[in-house]
Structure 1
């Protein structure tokens, strides 16, 4: 231990006497270690840390798997049937997201709400901290029981944190609901994009066999594996299908399952692993760079080491002394790197879903600090071990016979060359990944979503059934509202739709196609929208065939429907759609609807996902309470927000409008993740490129410095400066070719791992590989040219007097 303390004090004195080297090495390591700590913190929070629920490994998400829709919501009939017939799950709960209006105060407020089956919180293992949980009696048809659980935040902010809050009534959508319980502080349900404030019991209508709106979460039964429970669900699904009322030609729905944490992190997982791989490469490049610097110092101090060895110092002690210096450098880099972590975490948070961040925040936790400490020590050992072993393993006697200036005069050191080649190879991999992500970002930005978001303002309304109990009330309200909005200055058109594109909401359901489809044995499911006559014109959704909705498509008109191009391809095989008839199987007495038009495909969920089969029903024939209002304006959309609220207040002072924002903001949210990923990769790649260039320059400058006498003799004997320049450039070229060749092979493997993040570009795009290789070769040769030019200008007389 005493010897280690002595070595650390000696290393500290040595580093203080060489501030330039120390600063360069510490800053390089700080950037690399800090970046790795940030990515570890995110991966630990999102992927490694268990969800904060009881036995989270037992929680499983379940979907229907439909033709054209891989992860479809579930009907109440199916959930009831699964509960009865499936033996693989001890609990199955349903949930769905809603917006409600809270009244009774000075102004109406939006309340983020969810409807859940009564066993929902029992499944999660999260009982209320005050009051009671839901019971089966709370779930009544038409929500007749009117009970509610509220979040801790709602209780604190909207109920004043009152001690007698349990038992109080709150007005939601015009109905009085009794608060029966308050949920724990910090409770967050990550399957929703935002914090839910009020939870209501949901009654599962056994007749709603065609209405897919429920999401399902299950808990594995004791002793049952995920595979066994999943294999049991298709059998349960067939039993549900056979028990359904009515003679229907379709087959039972297939079933898809995923562990809940795997589902929640599915979109973030490849991004995080890819970025961690990138910062891992940066760390390796930084280690190679510092190792090269240490090797130069070690070669210059070989004679000192030989004297120590002659005086009795063992090789182990000399290696320990060398490693003490490198580990100290690593620890200093780790400490400075922690100062960069908080800034880096803000960048990484843009890549992760907000719901998961609220539940498991990315922060500098104890595991992250331990990781940073281990990485600092490990990096110090990594970049210090090879130079230490190499220099302490050389024969002592020849070193003692040489003069101090001759020691280490071997210019073209193979270890240094290999370290530089590794830096070039890793930098090439990062540059290729960055270029591919830049191309991906451009491709996503160039995607045609099927609509025009420019100049569009969108907001969402949820009308309470107390004030608007009948379909005619809904028709009257939205007709008056659209009339008022169309009269606003600068408004070109206005319409309503239940699920606007890129808004995070969706509705799908079963349907029957009269006369059959191209796949008569399949059970048909499509996305369904309810839209007004001006909706397509407002969003500039092209009508490819037939016509748009018009005044004739009123509640008294013939039942009609408009489908998209994907619907025609999937279910009609491209055959003539106009005149065909479709029946929505949401109820047994639903009418057949004639297809009157075909519209362009719209990318509804994400820009990078292809359009799915969609069908549009006229609002007048199927009015809904929850609708999105869209306005096309010649002005800046946000300037109309105040006017929209005033018009709404004039109609109904208790009716709030939610998320009233320009439609462009939805497009920006779609681009935020690939943009942040590209920026981070670009920053890492630029750092890698600089480090690799510095590494090449350092090797060549050291080589030229060690060969000064040789080059001077060549010039004195008549060599032309161009020949000396070419001699040094050839050495740099060999390094470049070796590094680029290694990099191309490595990139060919690594880019396959990046393929899931790419869009519209091949992971092994030859032009990208060739272009990046040429750029990196150019940087490397430029870094070689500077010391080569200096070598060609060496004065023979000065170099010959060097000894």
Structure 2
């Protein structure tokens, strides 16, 4: 232990006497170790840390699998049947979300609510911090329950943290609700993009066949595997379809809840961590080369120590002490970069999961950074240490100082630089593929025009607008006022706007089907007003849009998209065909009066799914999005929209009032952030690789100064000397690029899930990157080669 302390003191003095070398090595390591610490923090928070619920490994996300939707929500009868007859789960809970209006204060307030089955919190293992959980009798038919459980944040912010909040009343959607419980601080639900302010018990209507809106999470029974539990539910689902004439046979899709929640972030995080791992390896190779040069220059000193009795292990320990000290300094400086890097990584992750698992500099992250610093120090110090410990002492003692330097060229330096080039090429290929992916996503035709559109969302209270006529009256007057505003081009309504994170689907039957009970299909459905398609510039391919004839008293009509026609009508003529919605139309059929182009509703990278649009006048709903196309900048119309809403109903809150283009920006934020981070890592890797090539060639030229001087003195042309050095650099470049191409071809297949519109083995990308990196390497070679061609023979010979 005493010898180790002495070695660290000696290493510290040595590094202090070489400030340039120490600073270059520490900065290089700080960037690499800091980046690795940031990515580890994100991976630990999102993938390794369990969900903050009781026995989270038993929690499973469940869907019914249908013809065109593999992860469809459940209808209430299906969920009831699964709960009653399923044996692989100890419990199944349903949830959905809605927006409520809170009145009673100075201004109306939007309240984000979760509607859940009464066993929801019990299944998660979450108990209220104050008050009680839901009881079965709290869920009343018709969803008219008047009790709520509020979040800790809502209790502090909106209820003032009152000690007597349990038992107090809230005016929600015009109805009085009683607070029966307050959830513990820190509880958040990862399925919602925004934290819910309060929760309501939801009654499952056993007659709501075909109305798929319930999301489901379940808890597996102890000792039961996910496959066995899913198979059991599949048996139940098929039995329900046989006994319930209102249900169509559905399969079952399942996933462990944490894996589902992190499915979109997992490949991004692993890819970025692999990238920063490559950067760390390049940095280690670079510092190893610097240390190897120092070891070659100081090998006579090492020989003297060996002659004085220093063992091979002691000499190796001394060399490793210096490298580990460099690693620790680099890790310490890297921690200062972590806080900045955290913000970049947070841009890649879903906000719902970040609320539950914040990415922060935790104790595991600090321990990881310490271990990485020591490990990196040992890794890049190993080659110089082995060289120091393995040198032959006697010949070195017999040689002069200059002779020692002349024979110090070490082939391991070339190998380290080739590795740097190979790793840099892999990173460059990945970066180019991600940049191409970003360009492809930006070029996607979403089926609508987002520019110049202002969007807002409204959810009307049932007590005040509980009848279809009142709903029509409110939205009709609002549309009339908005259309009258200057610079308004078109205004429309839709219940689920594209890229909004909301959706609904349901079963339907085609007229003339062979079996009305089994020939039923599932489609996404929207409720839209006249002018919605014009406001969003969604092209009408056949027929017409909704108009005045699609009123409440008009013939039942429907508009479908092209995917609907391809999937269910075999691409034939859709106009005049009739469909019946199982959850809406009691025995009557709706005529298809129009076909519109496909809209990418969920994500720009996902293909359009079958959609059907109902006229708002015939199927009014309380929650709608307003889409307003203007000739001015949409943000300039915000105050006008608020004023017109206030004129219609001063107590009605409006939310998500923003330009529609903001949604497009959010869709691009993840591929943009991924491409930027990979580009930064690739640029750093190329710089480090270029520096490594330059260092090796400059050192080689320095060791061959006498030889090159003699060549020039004997009549060699400077171009020949230049070519001699360039050929050595070309050989090094070809080896590194060749190995890199092979490694990239194997690694890029791991990027497949992140790519869009580009193949992982795109030949043009590989050739282009190889040419660029080879050019960088040869440029780094050209500088010392040019210097070699200008060596003065007399000076080099006289120096010898």
2:32 is the alignment partner of 1:32 = yes
Find the aligned partners of 2:662 and 2:634 in 1 and give their Cα distance.
11
Deviation per residue, 1:139-196 (Å, 9 max, x gap): 0112333100000011111111111110111011111100000000110000111100
2:206 is the alignment partner of 1:209 = no
Q: How do 1:265-304 and structure 2 match up within 5 A?
A: 265-304=262-301
2:251 is the alignment partner of 1:254 = yes
Find the aligned partners of 2:288 and 2:792 in 1 and give their Cα distance.
32
How many residues align? The count is 800
Give the 3-state SS of the residue equivalent to 1:204 in structure 2: coil
Greater CA deviation, 782-791 or 304-313?
A: 304-313
Could you tell me which of 428, 431, 434 is aligned with 1:434? Answer: 431
Deviation per residue, 1:338-395 (Å, 9 max, x gap): 0000000000000011111111100000000000000000000000011210232121
Find the aligned partners of 1:203 and 1:292 in 2 and give their Cα distance.
69
Structure 1 contact 499–628 (Cα < 8 Å) conserved? yes
Find the aligned partners of 2:295 and 2:359 in 1 and give their Cα distance.
41
**CA offset at residue 290 of structure 1?**
0.2
Find the aligned partners of 1:134 and 1:358 in 2 and give their Cα distance.
24
2:688 is the alignment partner of 1:716 = no
**CA offset at residue 523 of structure 1?**
4.5
Structure 2 contact 151–197 (Cα < 8 Å) conserved? yes
Find the aligned partners of 1:675 and 1:580 in 2 and give their Cα distance.
43
Structure 1 equivalent of residue 165 of structure 2: 165
Find the aligned partners of 1:621 and 1:588 in 2 and give their Cα distance.
11
Find the aligned partners of 2:517 and 2:112 in 1 and give their Cα distance.
41
Give the 3-state SS of the residue equivalent to 2:404 in structure 1: coil
**CA offset at residue 425 of structure 1?**
0.2
Give the 3-state SS of the residue equivalent to 1:530 in structure 2: strand
Structure 2 equivalent of residue 223 of structure 1: 223
Find the aligned partners of 2:49 and 2:132 in 1 and give their Cα distance.
29
Find the aligned partners of 1:785 and 1:519 in 2 and give their Cα distance.
78
Structure 2 contact 245–517 (Cα < 8 Å) conserved? no
2:786 is the alignment partner of 1:789 = yes
Deviation per residue, 1:643-687 (Å, 9 max, x gap): 111111111111011100000000000000000000000000000
Q: How do 1:441-452 and structure 2 match up within 5 A?
A: 441-452=438-449
Structure 1 contact 118–138 (Cα < 8 Å) conserved? yes
Give the 3-state SS of the residue equivalent to 1:617 in structure 2: strand
Find the aligned partners of 1:275 and 1:221 in 2 and give their Cα distance.
36
Query: In structure 2, do the counterparts of structure 1 residues 692 and 465 end up closer, same or farther at CA, with 3 Å as the change threshold?
Result: same
Find the aligned partners of 1:36 and 1:714 in 2 and give their Cα distance.
48
Could you tell me which of 758, 773, 777 is aligned with 1:780? Answer: 777
Query: In structure 2, do the counterparts of structure 1 residues 567 and 519 end up closer, same or farther at CA, with 3 Å as the change threshold?
Result: farther
Give the 3-state SS of the residue equivalent to 1:801 in structure 2: helix
**CA offset at residue 102 of structure 1?**
0.7
2:108 is the alignment partner of 1:111 = no
Deviation per residue, 1:234-291 (Å, 9 max, x gap): 0010122122145x7x4x1111000000010000000000000000000000000000
2:279 is the alignment partner of 1:316 = no
2:457 is the alignment partner of 1:460 = yes
2:578 is the alignment partner of 1:581 = yes
2:153 is the alignment partner of 1:153 = yes
Return the TM-score normalized by structure 1.
0.98
Structure 1 equivalent of residue 596 of structure 2: 599
Greater CA deviation, 89-98 or 226-235?
A: 226-235
Deviation per residue, 1:422-461 (Å, 9 max, x gap): 0000000000000000000000000000000111000000
Deviation per residue, 1:727-773 (Å, 9 max, x gap): 00000000000000000000001100011100000111000000000
Could you tell me which of 751, 756, 759 is aligned with 1:754? Answer: 751
Structure 2 contact 81–240 (Cα < 8 Å) conserved? yes
**CA offset at residue 400 of structure 1?**
1.0
Could you tell me which of 347, 356, 374 is aligned with 2:371? Answer: 374
**CA offset at residue 408 of structure 1?**
3.8
Find the aligned partners of 2:469 and 2:381 in 1 and give their Cα distance.
79
2:642 is the alignment partner of 1:645 = yes
Deviation per residue, 1:694-741 (Å, 9 max, x gap): 000000000000110110011111111000000000000000000000
* Dislocated runs of 4+, deviation >3 Å: 516-523
Deviation per residue, 1:35-74 (Å, 9 max, x gap): 0000000000000000100000000000111111121111
Find the aligned partners of 1:412 and 1:230 in 2 and give their Cα distance.
64
Could you tell me which of 649, 658, 676 is aligned with 1:679? Answer: 676
Find the aligned partners of 1:338 and 1:314 in 2 and give their Cα distance.
37
Structure 2 contact 296–408 (Cα < 8 Å) conserved? no
Find the aligned partners of 1:791 and 1:517 in 2 and give their Cα distance.
87
CA RMSD of aligned residues (A): 1.3
Find the aligned partners of 1:522 and 1:19 in 2 and give their Cα distance.
79
Query: In structure 2, do the counterparts of structure 1 residues 522 and 16 end up closer, same or farther at CA, with 3 Å as the change threshold?
Result: farther
Find the aligned partners of 1:394 and 1:786 in 2 and give their Cα distance.
32
**CA offset at residue 134 of structure 1?**
0.1
Show structure 1 runs of 5+ residues with no match: none
Find the aligned partners of 2:333 and 2:52 in 1 and give their Cα distance.
32
Find the aligned partners of 2:133 and 2:565 in 1 and give their Cα distance.
47
Find the aligned partners of 1:520 and 1:84 in 2 and give their Cα distance.
23
Structure 2 equivalent of residue 420 of structure 1: 417
Deviation per residue, 1:592-631 (Å, 9 max, x gap): 1111110000000000000000000000000000000010
Structure 1 equivalent of residue 44 of structure 2: 44
Find the aligned partners of 2:167 and 2:405 in 1 and give their Cα distance.
85
Query: In structure 2, do the counterparts of structure 1 residues 520 and 82 end up closer, same or farther at CA, with 3 Å as the change threshold?
Result: closer
Could you tell me which of 348, 352, 360 is aligned with 1:351? Answer: 348
Structure 2 equivalent of residue 555 of structure 1: 552
Structure 1 equivalent of residue 723 of structure 2: 726
Q: How do 1:603-642 and structure 2 match up within 5 A?
A: 603-642=600-639
Structure 1 contact 411–702 (Cα < 8 Å) conserved? no
Structure 2 equivalent of residue 339 of structure 1: 336
Give the 3-state SS of the residue equivalent to 1:754 in structure 2: helix
Find the aligned partners of 1:690 and 1:35 in 2 and give their Cα distance.
16
**CA offset at residue 514 of structure 1?**
1.4
Return the TM-score normalized by structure 2.
0.99
Show structure 2 runs of 5+ residues with no match: none
Structure 2 equivalent of residue 189 of structure 1: 189
Give the 3-state SS of the residue equivalent to 1:113 in structure 2: strand
Deviation per residue, 1:301-326 (Å, 9 max, x gap): 11111111111110000000000000
Structure 2 equivalent of residue 493 of structure 1: 490
Give the 3-state SS of the residue equivalent to 1:761 in structure 2: coil
**CA offset at residue 412 of structure 1?**
5.1
Greater CA deviation, 780-789 or 206-215?
A: 206-215
Structure 2 contact 145–200 (Cα < 8 Å) conserved? no
Find the aligned partners of 1:650 and 1:34 in 2 and give their Cα distance.
55
Find the aligned partners of 1:178 and 1:66 in 2 and give their Cα distance.
39
Find the aligned partners of 1:354 and 1:260 in 2 and give their Cα distance.
17
2:543 is the alignment partner of 1:532 = no
Q: How do 1:671-710 and structure 2 match up within 5 A?
A: 671-710=668-707
Structure 1 contact 61–260 (Cα < 8 Å) conserved? yes
Structure 1 equivalent of residue 507 of structure 2: 510
Find the aligned partners of 2:520 and 2:46 in 1 and give their Cα distance.
36
Find the aligned partners of 1:615 and 1:649 in 2 and give their Cα distance.
32
Structure 1 contact 518–573 (Cα < 8 Å) conserved? no
Find the aligned partners of 2:497 and 2:318 in 1 and give their Cα distance.
67
Structure 2 equivalent of residue 16 of structure 1: 16
Give the 3-state SS of the residue equivalent to 1:258 in structure 2: strand
